Amino acid sequence: MISSEKITVVVQGAIVPDEGRGTKEVCESIRALLPGAEIILSTWENSNYQGIPYDKVLENKDPGALDSQYEGREKSAVRNNFNRQLISTLQGIREAGREYVMKLRSDSLLRDLSFLRFYEKYGREQNIACFEPRNPWGEFLNQLSLCDFWFFAPKEKMLKLWDIPLYENGMLKERDILGEEYLLGQFIRKKENLELPVFFSDAASYRDTIYKSTLRDDFLIIPNRKSGIFCTKYPGLNDFYTVCIKHYVISFSDWISFQEPGKQVKQFLAFHFLQGLSGTIFGRIKKIKRGSHGAKK
């Protein structure tokens, strides 16, 4: 496994003060599981980071949020915070002193190092490990994006992904694109020399070509449930139902199929289906048992 001495973890974003679930616990989890890693806390001016373990702190100027002409799944207006994420992430990566860099939200805990084991087994040096993105063939039709919760890769690859201009509204007439779409679009713009309005205006045709080949060649999709990374803000994110039943996201098995078109992954899918189903059943049994014990009291 990659030695922790070769890794910088950039903990980016606002300081989360929640005891037991906050940024202090995030950094403590990194210290416990990656004891030799460099921790860079990249946050905002005048933040209170007292008591949080880190090696270097960056106090960035907060660029604020943008009003977005995009409706979320709840059909309500969405505030776009992508520039906040971009600045805190990029500044942290630039300051990183190790070979590999992990970008981690300030509300996401490390529970184990499964993401590293996945990376070493399935990744290549050109891969950027990431969380499952939205499925543009399904619920999020033609939304070509990445999930920006966490990334892991060699420093130079992380710079290729994050060293981009600030987000501006108005790139499309129909709507403002999501920050996650913008991040992938800028990566593809540099790689394919394809301008963003062209890419997003014809997303349906690029979905089966450039989008798929980019995920295949440049990224490694790691299942959230098997990454060892837990986002305290979204504890049920990409559970078995979301991934395997509703297929809201591009799964690891989808990524495997991108590697070898036509390759049969039935055994892989069957294994994870049964594993997820058993986990759901046992979880339900535990809830019933806890309920019955409570009733006896």
pLDDT digits (tens, 9 = 90+) for 88-142: 999 999 999 999 999 999 999 999 999 999 999 998 877 999 999 999 998 888 9
Which ranges of the chain does DSSP label H, i.e. alpha helix?
23-33, 82-95, 114-122, 155-162, 179-192, 196-201, 203-206, 212-218, 240, 252-259, 266-296
pLDDT for res 210 = 95
pLDDT for res 271 = 43
pLDDT for res 110 = 97
pLDDT for res 241 = 62
- Stated pTM of the model: 0.85
DSSP letter string over 36-71?
Answer: T-EEEEEEETT---TT---SEEEEEPP---EEEEEE
pLDDT for res 163 = 98
pLDDT for res 232 = 85
pLDDT for res 4 = 98
Count CB-CB contacts under 10 A for residue 87.
20
pLDDT for res 176 = 85
Query: pLDDT under 70 in the chain at which residues?
Result: 70-77, 237-246, 261-297
The residues pairing with 8 across neighbouring beta strands, listed in sequence order, are 38, 101
pLDDT for res 248 = 85
Exposure b/e, 52-85, CB count within 10 A at least 16 = b: bebeeebebebbeebebbbeeeeeeebebbbbbb
Going along the chain from its start, the domains and CATH numbers come out as 4-263 (3.90.550)
pLDDT for res 12 = 98
